[in-house]
Chain A
Amino acid sequence: MNYRLQLDRVSAAYEGVSVLKDISLVLPDGVFTAIMGANGSGKSTLLKLLGGAVAPVAGKILLDGKPVSALRPRHLARDIAMLPQFPLAPDGIRVAELVMRGRFPHQTMFRQWSAADRTAVDAAMAQAGVADLAHRLVSTLSGGQRQRVWIALVLAQDTPILLLDEPTSFLDIAYQVELMALLSELSERGRTIVAVLHDINQASRHASHLVMLAGGQVIAAGRPDEVVRAETMRAVFRLESVIVPDPVTFTPMVVPSELRRNR
């Protein structure tokens, strides 16, 4: 298993409170990895560490063996793209212009446009399914359309590694399925995808590597059939469940076995 991105004994804190404790993890290349865990288990922090947005209090985040903190932001941005949970769209901007802003790390002060930018933006909009919205005002789009525009922006950044923080929230079930399919398709074409996700059954279907966090530590990491087990669900979510095969994909599916419970 090849990997470029790795956490080596990393601890992180948020406003003085420890969030992640001594985590070591590799993110396999060309694989769709889903990061899961209970609320407040440090999923988002883990993603921010990988993107260089948060500095660890101990340990190292390595890209090709070099600490990401030592890389210039612009160079890091050519390898790793990050879609946060709440990006901001300026008033009055149109879809194609917003997607073009993903090309920032490939541009300079005096070369603010190139044919490669145009090609990358067109390809990204086609992949994310927003090509026919190119000239629409972003403010007039539905939540699902908007989310796909942001996906197009990070795709236009054209990085081998893509980090996404809860990309399916605010999407209806049809868009969720579509987005998950897009992410696994991208990983099949060689991109490394790391996404924080909530829906375990969806993740089992589409992602091929799962990381389960609880209490600031990695409880389990591996293929869905290795990770999604009743004892993991108990350890991570304190949830009693039965694991059955998904009737369509035969991947593990979690069925909670309690109807009422006290946490």
Chain B
Amino acid sequence: MSVIIASPAGGIALKTSRRRLLAGIFLCLAGLGIGIWTLASGDYPLTFYEILDVVRGGGDETARMVVMEWRLPRFLAALVAGAMLGLAGALFQSVFRNPLASPDVMGFDAGAHFGAVVAMLVFGGGFFLVAGGALSGGAVAALAVYLFVARGLSGFRLIVVGIGIGQLFFAASQWLLLQAGEEAAVAVASWGLGSLNDMDKSRLAYLGISAVLLVPPGLLLARSLRQLELGDAIARGTGLDPGRTRLSAILVGLALSALVTALVGPIGFIALVAPQIARRLTADGDVALVHAALAGSILLGASDLLAQKIPSGMPLPVGVVTLVLGGLWFFWLLLRSGRVGTS
């Protein structure tokens, strides 16, 4: 059932559907629930009303510090980074017309990780150097994959090539870490698992600025990607420049995932699964960028909550949790396709 949202004069008219709106509301409510749970639970438990007081500007000093200094920045970072990853995955999956073509599977994240490691160990780090390193590393990995695409590689073989390139970068990063001094290697290694444990306000600010710069242009690509999914010939025939759309989507997607890698560390699975969940929820054959971003936020928020809940000797990096969830997701997909295959 189509829903048209229009200005009275008709100058603005956006088209959506009831199912899309409901799915969006459902995702937002789920995010809100995870948010309240994240803010309330921990070594210093708070009630819903205590959190409400703090958010309104009241509450006692300890509660204020727990919420505003520790739990909220961390949860916001999970939301923002998750949205960036979900959107990046949706852009790549649409451009490559392949539900497995996300930056973590295709090796782009491993490239960004390698670039960031080089920036940290060789050039000493700092946000702009690490971000620059991650962006260049991701771009090199993407270029390598692209050279195979240009030779006509597609579908499953493309994914295998992406995985191979990712492994090469991963090995190179490990080698660099082995060469580095122990102290530097330990610092880099804990980032290298993807963690929100020591998220502070300055990193959150960088994350927020990256999102503000990249998420709107990414979302605005929806209209062009929708057309591109009909094949290059129809896309061009209806007035789109397929090459330009593809390049824009790849560049924005790369920047989104590389900056998350630079600021939080490599986090697998979110960029892969969030867009798949979004498409399942909307189920209308259209790209679902907003829903993918929302699903990414929720997945990373929930994974980080899980990371805090699992008892372990040290604070668990969220990247470890998402990797485990990713493995389970693949397992489920395999079981399901196996059942389809035998029935």
4 closest pairs, A vs B, by CB? Answer: A93-B285, A77-B239, A84-B233, A82-B237
Question: Does chain B have a CB within 8 A of A91?
Answer: yes
Q: Given the complex, which residues of B lie within 8 Å of A98, measured CB to CB?
A: 230, 285
**Contacts from B to A (Cβ < 8 Å):** 4, 6, 10-15, 97, 220, 223, 226-227, 229-231, 233-234, 236-241, 279, 283-286
CA distance A73 to B239 in the complex (A): 4
Question: Does chain B have a CB within 8 A of A57?
Answer: no
**Contacts from A to B (Cβ < 8 Å):** 51-53, 72-78, 80-84, 86-94, 97-98, 101-102, 104-105, 107, 109-114, 138, 153-154, 157, 163
CA distance A91 to B288 in the complex (A): 13
Could you write out 8 A-B pairs with CB less than 8 Å apart?
A76-B239, A78-B239, A88-B229, A110-B12, A110-B13, A110-B14, A111-B13, A157-B237
Q: Given the complex, which residues of A lie within 8 Å of B283, measured CB to CB?
A: 92
Q: Given the complex, which residues of A lie within 8 Å of B286, measured CB to CB?
A: 90, 93, 97
CA distance A80 to B233 in the complex (A): 13
- Residues B238 and A88 in contact, CB atoms below 8 Å apart: no
Instruction: Beyond A53-B236, A113-B14, list 11 extra A-B contacts (CB 8 Å).
Output: A51-B236, A77-B238, A84-B237, A86-B233, A88-B231, A90-B230, A91-B285, A93-B285, A110-B13, A112-B223, A113-B6
- Residues A97 and B285 in contact, CB atoms below 8 Å apart: yes
- Residues A101 and B238 in contact, CB atoms below 8 Å apart: yes
Q: Given the complex, which residues of B lie within 8 Å of A88, measured CB to CB?
A: 97, 229-231, 234
Q: Which residue of A lies closest to B237 (CB)?
A: A82
- Residues B239 and A89 in contact, CB atoms below 8 Å apart: no
Residue from A84, A112, A163 within 8 A of B13 (CB atoms)? A112
- Residues A113 and B15 in contact, CB atoms below 8 Å apart: yes
Q: Which residue of A lies closest to B224 (CB)?
A: A104
- Residues B231 and A84 in contact, CB atoms below 8 Å apart: yes
Q: Given the complex, which residues of A lie within 8 Å of B4, measured CB to CB?
A: 113
Q: A53-B237, A73-B241, A113-B13 are in contact. Are A90 and B223 (CB under 8 A)?
A: no
CA distance A165 to B226 in the complex (A): 23
- Residues B14 and A157 in contact, CB atoms below 8 Å apart: no
CA distance A163 to B237 in the complex (A): 10
CA distance A153 to B6 in the complex (A): 24
Q: Given the complex, which residues of A lie within 8 Å of B231, measured CB to CB?
A: 84, 86-88
Chain B nearest Cβ from A166, distance in angstroms: 13
CA distance A89 to B234 in the complex (A): 11
Chain A nearest Cβ from B92, distance in angstroms: 16
